[in-house]
């Protein structure tokens, strides 16, 4: 294991098992409908593909990329790459790697809501409610997490560690 890793918080087996459970919840909730999953580059693509594989309703996928304005302006993000297709009239689920302060998700949900989807939900792999600055409704989540910086399964530190199969606490 990498020297910068303090400990593994969720193993690959735990993550995959929990993703199956959440995919079952999503399949039940959207039964009879097509579902559009919207991933946020780059962090959420690992979770999105793992999740999509176990969803049993018809699934479409689209991706957007955001860039933040840096440390001086937390939560101030803009869309750096927009969706390829409109979402009007569709059942849309925003898929996030992590909801921390909630600022990013709120911005994205507001932006997507303005495009008149039939429904709009939020699914996150990790939820750190202890750091929340604003209220966001999380419809589906895999794990609640403590206030420690995590890497793996899409989460990065300086763009590294996204490809780890597990989720780990990085050494301070
Ligand atoms: P927000 O604070 O909810 O707006 O989340 C902002 C972004 O910070 C997330 O989308 C992640 O990219 C990043 N982030 C927050 N916590 C962590 C972490 O523990 N590891 C890696 N990235 C994180
Ligand atoms: Mg992110």
Whether residue 104 has its Cβ less than 6 Å from ligand 1: yes
Cis peptide before 42 (omega within 30 of 0): yes
In the residue annotation, 100 being an active-site residue is answered as yes
Helix, strand, coil % (nearest 5) of the chain?
25, 35, 40
DSSP β-ladder status, 91-99 and 35-41:
parallel
Q: Which of 24, 100, 139, 147 is catalytic?
A: 100
Q: Of the residues 69, 98, 125, 130, which should be mutated to test ligand 1's pocket, given the most ligand atoms within 8 Å of the CB?
A: 98
Helix (H) or strand (E) holding 73: none
Q: Which residues contact 5 (CB under 8 A, 6 or more apart)?
A: 151, 168, 169, 170, 171
pLDDT tens for the 172 residues of the chain, in order:
677 999 999 999 999 999 999 999 999 999 999 999 999 999 999 999 999 999 999 999 999 999 877 666 667 789 999 999 999 999 999 999 999 999 999 999 999 999 999 999 999 999 999 999 999 999 999 999 999 999 999 999 999 999 999 999 999 8
Please state, in angstroms and rounded to a whole number, the distance separating the CA atoms of residues 82 and 111: 11
Q: State if pTM tops 0.85.
A: yes
- CA 84 – ligand 2 centroid, Å: 19
Whether residue 43 has its Cβ less than 6 Å from ligand 1: yes
């Amino acid at each position: 294991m990498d020297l910068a890793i303090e400990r593994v918080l969720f193993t690959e087996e735990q993550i995959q098992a929990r993703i199956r459970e959440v995919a079952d919840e999503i399949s039940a909730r959207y039964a009879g409908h097509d579902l559009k999953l919207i991933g946020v580059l780059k962090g959420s693509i690992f979770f999105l593909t793992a999740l999509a594989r176990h969803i049993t309703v018809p699934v479409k996928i689209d991706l957007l990329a955001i860039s933040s304005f840096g440390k001086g302006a937390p939560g101030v993000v803009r869309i750096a790459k927009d969706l390829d297709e409109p979402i009007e009239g569709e059942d849309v689920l925003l898929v996030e790697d992590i909801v921390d302060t909630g600022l990013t998700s709120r911005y994205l949900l507001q932006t997507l809501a303005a495009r008149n989807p039939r429904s709009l939900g939020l699914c996150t792999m990790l939820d750190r409610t202890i750091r929340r600055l604003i209220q966001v409704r999380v419809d589906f989540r895999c794990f609640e997490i403590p206030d420690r910086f995590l890497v793996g399964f899409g989460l990065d530190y300086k763009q590294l560690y996204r490809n780890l199969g597990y989720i780990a606490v990085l050494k301070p």
